[in-house]
Structures are given as C-alpha cells and as structure tokens.
Amino acid sequence: MSTFLKGLLVASAALAFAPAAKADEDAIQLKAGDNIEVVEQNCAACHSLDYIQMNSPILDQKGWQAEVAKMVNAFKAPIAEADQQKIIEYLSAQYAKE
C-alpha cells in the first residue's frame, strides 16, 4: 500500500471519528418562563432549540402536547413523565400559536 493511500486512510478515519460540530445553542434564547430549564435540558439534548421557535406559529397547546408525545414515543426521547408535562406547560404558555 502506498504512503499516500495510507495517509488518506488515516485522515479518513480521523474525520469519521471526530466529534460532530455542535450548533451554537447560546444564540438561541427562549422566552423566559416557568420550566424553561426543563425545556432547555431535555429538548436541547436531541435537537436545536430553534425547532421550538420554528414551530410556534403553527402549534397550539394540543399541538405541543402531540409534539412532546411524538418525541417520547416515536423518537424515544428519555424524558420523565413529570418533565413532559412541564415542557408542555412551558411551550403552551410561551410558544402556542395565537
């Protein structure tokens, strides 16, 4: 195997195992409110918090409830039942469509 090919394989392996770049979550500022820390801890563990802002024009309280249920049931998000309710309450109060 040539030196070039060995170098290419080593570089490819390094890239494959390098940590993924993380979005700058500090740029996303959610609206202040009760249970915001529960939302930030649970939701940002799997996706960017801008997902919340993007969906706020289309989701009402029932929509947020269904969205949290989808995250837990379909995507297997490990969110405690008590936290699920807190997330729904926060999203409904701060980001439900009007």
Q: Is there a domain that residue 10 lies in?
A: no
CA distance 97 to 82: 24
pLDDT-derived band at 18 (thresholds 50, 70, 90) equals very low
For position 20, what pLDDT does the model report? 45
Q: Is there a domain that residue 11 lies in?
A: no
pTM attached to this predicted model: 0.72
pLDDT in tens, 31-86: 999 999 999 999 999 999 999 999 989 999 999 999 999 999 999 999 999 999 99
CA distance 15 to 79: 32
pLDDT mean over 12-34: 65
CA distance 9 to 46: 31
Q: Is there a domain that residue 40 lies in?
A: yes
For position 2, what pLDDT does the model report? 72
Q: What is the CATH number of the domain that holds 66?
A: 1.10.760.10
Q: Is there a domain that residue 53 lies in?
A: yes
Which residue range is the domain that position 83 belongs to?
Answer: 24-95
Q: Is there a domain that residue 44 lies in?
A: yes
Provide the number of structural domains found in the chain: 1
Phi, psi of 94 (to 5 degrees): -100, -25
Q: Is there a domain that residue 85 lies in?
A: yes
Length of the chain: 98
